Structure 1
Amino acid sequence: MKKILFIDRDGTIIKEVPPTYQIDDINKINFYPKVIFFLSKIVHELNYDLVMVTNQDGLGTEKFPEKNFWPIHNHILKILKTEGINFSSVHIDKSFPEEKSPNRKPGTGMLTSYLKNSNYNRSKSFVIGDRITDVLLAKNLGCKSIWIKEHHNNDQLTKKEEKFYFGKINKDILIKNVVVLQTDNWKEIYEFLSKLKETSKKFLVHKRTTLETDVKIIIRLYGKGESHVQTGIGFFDHLLQQISFHSLIDLNIHTKGDIHVDEHHLIEDTGITLGEIFYQAIDKRGIERYGFFSLPMDDCLATVALDLGGRSQLSWKVQFYREKIGKIPTEMFFHFFQSFSSSAKCNIHIHATGNNEHHKIESIFKAFAKAIKMSIQKDPNRKLHLPSSKGIL
C-alpha cells in the first residue's frame, strides 16, 4: 500500500505573499528555506508518493486570470522536477470559501477520483500544510497532519467558516488528535519521517488461532537472522531457524497444536501464518521481486526460484524415499511450502536431487531462505516504483 504526502503549495512549498496571498507574478516565488533539499531527500530515501492539493481562490476570474497562474505554477513544478521531486497528481480548487464547495479543502471532493484508484495506507500518510483547513483535510482523509506553523496568523477563519468547517468539533482537540508535528522547518519534517522509517523496521506481530492450532509469529523483515522457534517438533524448529538465519529475517515463532493427533495441522498452519505475516510486512515498492538460489549440501542440490508477484503457485519437483525425517512425514514439506505460497501470494518453484533425505530438505529450506533474501532487497534505482510493468502487484 502506498504512503502518500498530500502537500499544500502556498505557505508550504513556497511563501505566501500578503495581502492577496496570490502568487500571480514570477517575482513573488520564494521557496521555503531548504524545502527543495529536504523534499528531494524524502522522495529518494523514504518511499512516499507526493500529491499536491491547493486552494486557489477565484482562479479564472478577472482578478486572478489563469494566464497569470499557469506559467508560474508550471515553473514551480519544473524547478522541483530538476531535483527529482515529482508529484504523481496535482489537485487545484478554484472556488471561494463562501461557495462552500465540497471540492475545496478541507473537503475531499477534488481527490475523489484519485482516492478511488489509489490503494494508500492512511496510517502512514500525512497532509502537510500551513492552514487549519489542511489539518481538517487530514482528519477528513483519515490520516495525520504535519502543520507548517510560522509566527503569522494566516489561518484565522470567520465565525461562519468556523461553524461550517468545525461544526461541533473542538479546534484544540482536533489539533491534539490530528497534528503529529508542528514546525516551520523542513529539516524537522524530514527527520520526523525518517524516524518513522526506522520504526517501520521493527517487529510485526501476527496471530492465527483455530480449534486445532494456536500460532503466534513475530517478524522483522530486515533483521540480523536471529530466531526463537518453538513448535513442539524439534526438526521443524531447526528448519524454520534455517529460514531466519540465511534470509537475515528475525523470527519468533511459537506454535501449539494437536500433535497428539498428528503433525499435519501444526505444520500447515505455521506455513499459513508465516506467509500471512510475510505478506503484511513487505513493502513491495523498490524490491527486487524475484529471488533464485541453487544450494549444494554434500550429495544434494536444491534450487528455489520465487516471484513475489501476487500470484500463488507452487511447483514441487522433489522426491523422498523415506516416510519421515525426524518426526515429520515427508509429505508435509510440500504442504508447508504450499501453505506459505498461498498466504504470501507468491509463486515458488522448488527442485531438489540427492540421496540423503536430511540433507535434501535442509538444502531446500536454506535455498528458500536465500531466495527470499534476494527477492526483498531494495533496488536503489526503483525506490518509489513497483517492480512490474503493469504498475500493480
Structure 2
Amino acid sequence: MKRCLFIDRDGTLILEAPPTYQLDSFDKLTFYPKVFEFLGKIAKELDYELVMPTNQDGLGTATFPEDTFWPLHNFVIKSLENEGIKFEEVLIDKTYPHENAPTRKPGTGMFTKYINNPEYDLANSFVIGDRITDMQLAKNLGCKGIWMVEDPTLGAAEIQDQVALLREETVVLESTDWQKIYEFLKLGLRRVNHDRNTNETQIHVELNLDGTGKANIHTGLGFFDHMLDQIARHGSMDLTVIAKGDLHIDEHHTIEDTGIALGEAFGKALADKRGIERYGFALPMDEAEAKVLIDFGGRNWIVWNALFKRERIGEMPTEMFFHFFKSFSDAAKCNLNIECHGDNEHHKIEAIFKAFAKAIRMAVKRDPMKNYLPSTKGVL
C-alpha cells in the first residue's frame, strides 16, 4: 500500500505574501527555508507519494486571472522537480465563492482517488499544511497532520476547543522547520495502543515514546499510579495505563500484569530499534541514591540491589517493586540493573522510578543521521 504526503503549496513550500496571500507575480515568490534540501531527502530516501492539494480561491476570475497563476506555479513545480521532488498529482480547488464547496479543503471532494482505495494507506499518510483547514483535512481523510503553524494560539477563542481536539487526535508534529519534518518522517511514529486481558486483570496501555510527559494513570492503587506517573513525566513520554484487576484479592496480579503490559508496549513501540541509543542510566533524590542501568538489547535479565524496611508504601507491598521491574524486563526483553540506598522508603522507590524513566529516555533517544541497528550482531 502506498503512503502519501499531501503537501499544501502556499505557506509550506513557498511563503505566503500578505495582504492578499495570492501568489500571482514572481516578485512575491520566496521558497520556504530548507524545503529543497529536506523535502528532497524525503523524496529520495522515504517511500511516500507526493501530492499537492491547494486552494486557489477565484482562480480564473478577473481578480485572479489564470495567466498570472500558471507561469509562477509551473516555475515552482519545475524548480522542485530539478531537485528530485516530483509531485505525482496537483489538486487545485478554484471555486468561488467557496462556502461549503466539497472540493475546498477541508472537504475531501478532490481526494476521491485516495479514499477507500486499497492501494493507499491513508492511516499512515500525512497532510502537511499551515492552516487549521489542513489539519481538518487530515482528520477527514483519516491521516495524521504535520502543522507548520506560525501562531500556536490561532486567534479566536471560539475555535480553541476545535484546535485542542485536532492537536490531541490528529496533529503529530508542529514545526516550521523542514529539517525537523524530515527527521520525524524518517524516524517514524513510536505510538502504540496495547491491551493485555486475563481472567484476573484487564490492562490498557497507550504509549508515545516521543511525547511530552503527559500521563493518564488509573490502576486502583494510588501509590502505584504516582510511580507510573513518574515514568511518563521524567521519561518525556505520553503514557496512559488503565488497569482493572482483582484488587479484592490483593495487589499482586494488577502490579505484575501492568509491568508485563507496559513491557510489551515498549517492545512494540521500539520495533526494529534502529537508531536508538540502546543504553541508559541515572539519579539521586534527597538522601536516597538510585542507579538504574538499562539495555534494550533483546534479552531479559534483572539485577536488583534494593532493600526496603517497610512492608508497604501506600497500598503497594514493597515486595512488588522487584516483581514489577522483573515483569517489565521479561516482556520488553531488556536488561535492568537496579541499585538503591537511602533512609526514607518513599524517597528510595520514587528515586528508582525516576531513574528508570531517565534511563529509558536516554536509551530510546534516536538520531536520524544514524538510522542503523546499535549492535554488531545485526539483530536485537
TM-score range, shorter chain: 0.5 to 0.7
Query: Aligned residues, how many?
Result: 237
| 203, 207, 212: which one aligns with 2:195 | 207
Residue 40 of structure 1 corresponds to: 41
Query: Are residues 1:352 and 2:340 paired?
Result: yes
Q: Say if 1:203 and 1:219, in contact at 8 Å, map to a contact too.
A: yes
Aligned equivalent of 2:119: 178
Matched, 1:255 2:243: yes
What is the distance in 2 between the residues matched to 1:279 and 1:202? 10
**Aligned counterpart in structure 2 of residue 369 of structure 1, from 357, 362, 365:** 357
Q: 1:232 aligned to 2:220?
A: yes
Separation (CA, whole Å) in 2 of partners of 1:43 and 1:212: 50
Give 1:203 deviation, angstroms: 4.2
- 1:371-386 matches, within 5 Å, as 371-382=359-370, 384-386=371-373
Task: State the shift of 1:233 in Å.
Answer: 0.5
Partners of 2:358 and 2:343 in 1: how far apart?
Answer: 22
Structure 2 CA distance for partners of 1:202 and 1:368, relative to 1, 3 Å: closer
Q: Quote the sequence identity (%).
A: 48
Alpha-carbon distance, 1:379 to partner:
2.6
* Structure 2 residue identity aligned to 1:234: G
Following the alignment from structure 2 to structure 1, what is the Cα–Cα distance between the partners of residues 225 and 38? 48
Unaligned runs of 5+ residues in structure 1 are 6-33, 49-82, 86-145, 151-171, 182-186
- CA RMSD after TM alignment: 3.8
1:389 alignment partner AA:
T
Distance 1:281 1:374 in 2: 15
Q: Which amino acid aligns with 2:275?
A: G
* 8 Å CA contact 2:214, 2:238 repeated in 1: yes
Q: Once the 2 structures are TM-superposed, how far is the Cα of residue 204 of structure 1 from its aligned partner?
A: 2.0
Query: Is the Cα contact below 8 Å between 1:271 and 1:339 reproduced in 2?
Result: yes
Deviation (angstroms), 1:39? 5.7
For the residue of structure 1 that corresponds to 2:226, the secondary structure is helix
**What amino acid is the match of 2:315?**
K
Question: Does the residue aligned with 1:375 lie in a helix, a strand or coil?
Answer: helix
Q: Secondary structure at the match of 1:176?
A: coil
Matches within 5 A, 1:145-156: none
> How far did 1:298 drift?
1.7
Does the 8 Å CA contact 1:147/1:179 hold for their aligned counterparts? no
Q: How many Å apart are 1:214 and its aligned residue? A: 0.7
Note if contact 1:224-1:250 (Cα within 8 Å) is conserved in structure 2: yes
Q: Which amino acid aligns with 2:277?
A: E
Paired with 2:121 and 2:263, the residues of 1 have a C-alpha distance of 33
- CA distance in structure 2 between the partners assigned to 1:176 and 1:261 by the alignment: 50
CA drift of 1:202 comes to 7.0
Q: How many Å separate the matches in 1 of 2:216 and 2:313?
A: 22
Determine whether 1:387 maps to 2:365: no
Cα deviation, 1:341-376, whole Å, max 9, x if unaligned, reads 011110010000011111100000000000000001
Matched, 1:267 2:255: yes
Partner of 2:274: 285
Equivalent-residue separation in structure 2 for 1:196 and 1:176 (angstroms): 26
| CA distance in 1 between partners of 2:239 and 2:320 (Å) | 21
The aligned counterpart of 2:316 is 328
SS at match of 1:273: helix
Provide the C-alpha distance between the structure 1 equivalents of 2:245 and 2:346, rounded to a whole number of angstroms: 24
Q: Which amino acid aligns with 1:290?
A: Y
Rounded Cα–Cα distance in structure 2 between residues aligned with 1:328 and 1:43: 53
SS of the equivalent of 2:118 reads helix
* 1:313–1:346 contact (8 Å) kept in structure 2: yes
Partner of 2:53: none
In structure 1, the residue matched to 2:329 is 341
Q: CA deviation at 1:197?
A: 3.3
Asked if the contact 2:187/2:368 (under 8 Å) is kept, the reply is no
Q: Distance in 2 between matches of 1:218 and 1:147?
A: 35
Matched, 1:309 2:310: no
Q: 1:380 to 1:177 in 2, by over 3 A?
A: closer
Whether the aligned pair in 2 keeps the contact of 1:316 and 1:334 (CA below 8 Å) is yes
2-structure distance, mates of 1:230, 1:320:
25
Q: Is 1:245 aligned with 2:245?
A: no
Q: What is the CA distance between 1:149 and its match in structure 2?
A: 8.1
Deviation at 1:380, TM superposition (A): 4.2
Indicate if the aligned counterparts of 2:41 and 2:182 stay in contact, CA closer than 8 A.
no
C-alpha deviation, 1:199, in angstroms: 11
Q: 1:290 to 1:202 in 2, by over 3 A?
A: closer
Structure exhibiting the larger radius of gyration computed from Cα positions: 1
Structure 2: distance between partners of 1:230 and 1:352: 27
Shift of 1:176: 3.4
Structure 2 gap segments, 5+ residues each: 4-34, 48-82, 91-112, 123-127, 129-144, 147-180
Structure 2 residue matching 1:177: 3-state secondary structure: coil
Matching residue's letter, 2:360 = I
